[in-house]
């Protein structure tokens, strides 16, 4: 599978330390961040990625952003922006605080 970066099975420490105290215990993003590794794995998406093509963003990240987009009733460009701007999304996506995201056309 050709990917830019794989999906980390753990939430980065800095992201967890900053964001977790801010999230309500019943937050969708807290739940997903803590349980996604049990539900989905990158290997589940392996057949969707060619071995020789240019690297892509993690399919788990794209799948989760699509779910968040649906929940928020957002267009693609706004969902991609929120993936970078919202701390709760970064927590659920297991991304570093300084993660720059992806272009919505990727």
pLDDT at residue 41, as a whole number: 82
- Please name the residue ranges forming H helices in 2-105: 13-19, 28-39, 59-72, 76-85, 87-92
C-beta pairs of 81-86 under 8 Å, 24+ apart in sequence: none
For position 9, what pLDDT does the model report? 86
- In tens, the pLDDT along 51-80 reads 666 556 788 888 899 999 999 999 999 999
Q: Which of 26-30, 87-91, 99-103 has the lowest average pLDDT? A: 99-103
pLDDT > 80? residue 91: yes
Q: Mean per-residue pLDDT for 76-103?
A: 94
Compute the average pLDDT of residues 15-22: 96
Which DSSP symbol is given to 8?
P
**pLDDT tens-digit profile of 24-56?**
999 999 999 999 988 888 777 777 776 666 556
């Amino acid at each position: 599978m050709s990917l830019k970066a794989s999906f980390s099975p753990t939430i980065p420490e800095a992201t967890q330390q900053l964001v977790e105290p801010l999230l309500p215990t019943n937050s969708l993003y807290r739940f997903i961040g803590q349980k996604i590794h049990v539900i989905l794995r990158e290997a589940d998406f392996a057949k969707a990625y060619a071995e020789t093509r240019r690297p892509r963003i993690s399919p788990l990240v794209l799948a989760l952003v699509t779910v968040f987009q649906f929940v928020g009733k957002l267009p693609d460009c706004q969902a991609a922006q929120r993936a970078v701007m919202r701390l709760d999304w970064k927590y659920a996506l297991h991304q570093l605080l300084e993660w720059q995201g992806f272009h919505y056309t990727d």
